[in-house]
């Protein structure tokens, strides 16, 4: 899959990410990852000590990537509506590169001591909530608890991706048709949340 050879450690990480988030193999073993990376399984332990800590690092890198992109939008001076539009775009892109990333998060959201919600994230979220509140007070959005606005935004974009296999079966859609629907949703979501 054309993973660049920038040191064995990084190659293992990238392979793990690909298997988990792109291929959606939620139960991949260290052997699966080692095989796909073309190294011995022992190396996974050498570099990462244990599966748990490997997965932990995979998470952190993925979250850091996403945070970086989202924060740049959130903290920018762009008009609010534009921010939201970019937000949606970022999620749509993620859905193409790593369609199973959120599924993976759901799977581990309870079990793990997943500290991938740090203090920093909470602070940045709070700032964004204040911006939403300001838009409401300015009469641009319907008045509600700003948390609902954020939940709605995430939900409308992410849920169809997470439930993709189910939706495809229940609505009898093929890959092309589903992709088309997701594309349509970008504009639809925008309209929906700005009433």
Which region among 32-40, 53-61, 86-94, 157-165 touches a copy of itself (by CB under 8 A)? 157-165
Distance CA 65, CA 116 (A): 12
Q: How far is the CB of 138 from a copy of itself (least distance, A)?
A: 20
Scan residues 16-55 and list those touching DNA (CB under 7 A): 27, 29-31, 39-43, 45-46, 49-52
* 3 state DSSP class of 163: coil
Are 161 and 186 within 8 A, CB to CB? Answer: no
Are 57 and 44 within 8 A, CB to CB? Answer: no
Distance CA 104, CA 27 (A): 10
Are 61 and 17 within 8 A, CB to CB? Answer: yes
- For a copy of itself, the closer of residues 43 and 136 by Cβ is 136
Based on the shown chain and the rule CB under 7 A, indicate whether residue 10 belongs to the binding site for DNA: no
- For DNA, the closer of residues 27 and 122 by Cβ is 27
Based on the shown chain and the rule CB under 8 A, indicate whether residue 166 belongs to the binding site for a copy of itself: yes
Q: How far is the CB of 83 from DNA (least distance, A)?
A: 40
**Could you say which of DNA, a copy of itself, none residue 8 binds, taking C-beta under 5 to 8 angstroms by partner kind?**
DNA
* Residue 183 CB coordination number (10 Å): 11
């Amino acid at each position: 899959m054309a993973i660049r050879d920038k040191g064995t450690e990084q190659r293992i990480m990238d392979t793990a990410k690909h298997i988990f988030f792109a291929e959606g193999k939620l139960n991949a073993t260290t052997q699966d990852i080692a095989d796909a990376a073309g190294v011995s399984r022992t190396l996974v332990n050498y570099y990462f000590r244990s599966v748990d800590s490997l997965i932990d690092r995979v998470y952190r890198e993925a979250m850091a990537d996403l945070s970086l992109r989202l924060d740049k939008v959130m903290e920018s001076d762009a008009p609010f509506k534009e921010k939201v539009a970019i937000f949606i775009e970022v999620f749509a892109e993620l859905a193409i590169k790593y369609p199973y990333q959120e599924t993976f998060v759901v799977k581990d959201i309870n079990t793990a001591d997943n500290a991938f919600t740090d203090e920093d994230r909470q602070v940045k979220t709070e700032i964004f909530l204040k911006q939403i509140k300001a838009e409401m007070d300015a009469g641009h959005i319907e008045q509600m608890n700003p948390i609902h606005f954020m939940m709605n935004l995430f939900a409308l974009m992410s849920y169809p991706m997470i439930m993709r296999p189910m939706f495809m079966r229940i609505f009898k859609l093929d890959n092309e048709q589903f992709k088309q629907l997701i594309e349509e949703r970008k504009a639809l979501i925008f309209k929906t949340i700005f009433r």
